[in-house]
Structure 1
Amino acid sequence: MMTLEEAQHQVDCWIKKYGVRYFSELTNMAVLTEEVGELARVMSRKYGDQSFKEGEKDNIEDEIADVLWVLLCIANQTGVNVTEAFARNLEKKTQRDNTRHINNPKLQDHGEE
């Protein structure tokens, strides 16, 4: 298993060894949008109403990894420690939403009527 910190470091090492340099932050934001779109296409075909076109495949794992890769690139470029940021974000959500979703009638099991 790899931690987020290790993944962030692996991306940085790969970029420095094989990638020449990071794309600009704005280019990586555009690449992230592209990768999220590719994930959305697979999701809409696998879980939505669309079907796979000839030649398309269910590569959801690869598309999720592509999104994570670019996010880690952006984190590296902007000096964000993803492990620390995620821990802070989880704590924020826990404090803010600790009863919100539990008390949301829209999330209750609809089969109990």
Structure 2
Amino acid sequence: MTIQEAQGAVDQWIKQYGVRYFSELTNMACLTEEVGELARVISRTYGDQSFKPGEKSNLGEEMADVLWVLLCLANQTGVNLTDELQKSIEKKTKRDKNRHINNPKLNKNK
């Protein structure tokens, strides 16, 4: 599924099952909540915390939840994420094409 197809699939789901999009402000709060849930799983999986009894690692599910709300925000604000991601890749390539390659902190094991 492409990003454009994902935006379309989310939009279709909202129209079919979701009644309407939540407000942009509500979706921003939802995005923050989902990022927090993702952070919790990462901290327990890769950090020093452990899972509580009954908790499980659902890393992919939490990432998908973040993506879902981001796609909602893009749809309701008229942002084409395919175009914006391409622009971001081009910007980062122009700005950072030599930066990371020449960073001794990243290349100390070479």
Structure 2 length-normalised TM: 0.97
The CA distance in 1 between the partners of 2:63 and 2:53, in whole Å, is 22
- State the number of aligned residues: 110
Q: Deviations over 1:57-95 (max 9, x none)?
A: 100000000000000000001100010110011000000
The CA distance in 1 between the partners of 2:31 and 2:68, in whole Å, is 9
Aligned to 1:65: 64
Q: What amino acid is aligned across from residue 57 of structure 1 in structure 2?
A: K
Aligned to 2:31: 32
**Deviation at residue 108 of structure 1 after TM alignment:** 1.4
Aligned to 1:108: 107
**Deviation at residue 104 of structure 1 after TM alignment:** 1.0
Any stretches of 5+ residues in structure 2 without a counterpart?
A: none
2:90 maps to 1:75: no
Aligned to 2:47: 48
Q: Deviations over 1:8-59 (max 9, x none)?
A: 0000000000000000001000000000000000000000000000011100
Aligned to 2:98: 99
Structure 1 length-normalised TM: 0.95
The CA distance in 2 between the partners of 1:24 and 1:35, in whole Å, is 16
The CA distance in 2 between the partners of 1:10 and 1:53, in whole Å, is 34
Q: What amino acid is aligned across from residue 5 of structure 1 in structure 2?
A: Q
The CA distance in 1 between the partners of 2:83 and 2:9, in whole Å, is 17
**Deviation at residue 109 of structure 1 after TM alignment:** 3.1
Aligned to 1:7: 6
**Deviation at residue 106 of structure 1 after TM alignment:** 1.3
